[in-house]
Amino acid sequence: MNRTHVIKEIDEILQQYCNDCFLKKHFRKAYSKTYAHQFCINQCTVGSSLREKGKELVNTEEAGLDP
């Protein structure tokens, strides 16, 4: 899998799940932007899939599979 493909997958996930996320909006309003961001990264299932895609991206760069 090349770098461009992984970036496209990440973009699709962000557009599909994160752009209109109710929890993200709620936590930003009720607590703070930082709190909402930490929730997304550490507790959200979409955030965990984004972390996995990020690891794939790093692995493609380390392997020299850049397009």
Report yes or no on 24 lying in a domain: yes
Report yes or no on 66 lying in a domain: no
Range of 22's domain? 3-61
Q: Which of 66, 62, 57 shows the shortest CA–CA distance to 9?
A: 57
Based on the structure, what is the number of domains in the chain?
A: 1
pLDDT digits (tens), the chain, 67 positions: 688 999 999 999 999 999 999 999 999 999 999 999 999 999 999 999 999 999 998 888 777 755 5
Report yes or no on 67 lying in a domain: no
Q: What predicted TM-score, i.e. pTM, was given to this entire model?
A: 0.77
| DSSP-assigned letter for residue 30 | H
Give dist(CA 39, CA 41) in Å, integer. 5
Give dist(CA 8, CA 14) in Å, integer. 10
- Find the DSSP H helices in 1-67: 3-13, 22-30, 33-42, 45-62
Report yes or no on 55 lying in a domain: yes
